[in-house]
Structure 1
Amino acid sequence: MPSLPLAPQPTDRPMKNAFLAFERWSTFSAMLGACAMLALAAALGMFQIVMRFVLEQPAEWTEVLIRFSLIWMVFLAIPAALRQGAMVRVDLLHRWSPPKVQRLLDAVVALATLALIGVIIWWGWDYALRGSMQSMAGLESVSMFWAYLALPVGGLFAVVGIIGHFIDPRRMELESAT
């Protein structure tokens, strides 16, 4: 019987179990947010088409919201891709290595990815703070802070996904997709 996606896998370590349950919940939540942002972008796109071509009264504010909802969608979907091991990679060395070397390679990749995500979180937060004095074009009452906040928020979700993938690796293989 297949397990539920949010159900922790049975292990003999309760702390590992608890973290993996939290990781599944956080990745699922981030993916729900990404899906909501995609739905928002699609709805706003349809609204813009109707307003521009049917009613001949374009709503410029929708273009800005579509752009920023797509940015939020991407940064909220990254943790799910990282967690599933579905990011583009060259893993020939990993496949040909013995299990202990594979774990070492996994640790090096996890640390390097955490470092990169750490930079994104740090500079994303700095950028969001600097952008808080700007307003969105077409939406003068909304601060750019909310658009730029996608980087650190998505990065924090990604950190949890990276650690979860290191603890319980899953790899999406092209050969098994058939």
Structure 2
Amino acid sequence: MRYFLRLEDFTTGLAQRLSIAFLVIAAALALYQVVTRFAFGAPSTWSEVITRSAMIWSVFLGVAVAFRHGAMISVDVIQNALPPRLGLWVYILASIGSLIFFSVLLWQGYLMTLRVIPQSLAALEVSIAWVYAALPVGSAFILVAILAAMVRAVQGDWLIARNAEDVQ
């Protein structure tokens, strides 16, 4: 498990750095679009498309980071109201639901990416598949992050139970 958690630490760190890079690209190109449109009266035809695409990539990569830090919508209220063991099971059950959802999204996103390969982005001669690829790639990062969060939750519960036994 230690190696898997190290792998997840690396992959989620990579997803975070890429997400930030795509967000910077999107912000810079949005600013460029505004300047060319309103200052020069000649809007760029390509910057809006790349801005939108960069935002999509940023979001799908950023979700893995959000899962890592527990920032996704969760069942904390219910989990905290229950005894610790039962709360852990609720967390695990919710995580399994997320695993199922993102597994389906990975597969369907992969199929959609393959279907749109012949299509090009507006104003660019680049396949729109590069944008659609954010779904399966982001989902892969997310699945690793969810599995690691589940492992950490179980390990944390095991340590709490073991420390409670040592106190008694």
Task: State the Cα RMSD in Å.
Answer: 1.2
Q: Is 1:157 matched with 2:111?
A: no
For residues 131 and 38 of structure 1, the distance between their equivalents in structure 2, rounded to whole angstroms, comes to 24
Question: Which of 111, 119, 130 pairs up with 1:146?
Answer: 130
For residues 98 and 55 of structure 1, the distance between their equivalents in structure 2, rounded to whole angstroms, comes to 63
Superimposed CA distance per residue, residues 100-125 of structure 1 (whole angstroms, 9 cap, x where no aligned partner): 21222222112111000011101111
- In the TM superposition, what are the counterparts of 1:10-159 in structure 2 within 5 Å? 16-139=1-124, 141-159=125-143
Superimposed CA distance per residue, residues 116-153 of structure 1 (whole angstroms, 9 cap, x where no aligned partner): 001110111111111111100111x1001000000000
Unaligned runs of 5+ in 1: 1-15, 170-178
TM-score by length of 1: 0.82
1:93 Cα deviation after fit? 2.2
Tell me, yes or no, if the aligned pair for 2:23 and 2:54 is still in contact at 8 Å. yes
Looking at secondary structure, tell me which structure has more helix per residue: 2
TM-score by length of 2: 0.87
1:168 Cα deviation after fit? 1.1
Unaligned runs of 5+ in 2: 154-168
1:158 counterpart SS class: helix
For residues 61 and 71 of structure 1, the distance between their equivalents in structure 2, rounded to whole angstroms, comes to 16
- Quick one: which amino acid aligns to residue 111 of structure 2? D
User: Which contiguous aligned blocks of 4+ residues in structure 1 show a shift greater than 6 angstroms?
Assistant: none
For residues 65 and 93 of structure 1, the distance between their equivalents in structure 2, rounded to whole angstroms, comes to 41
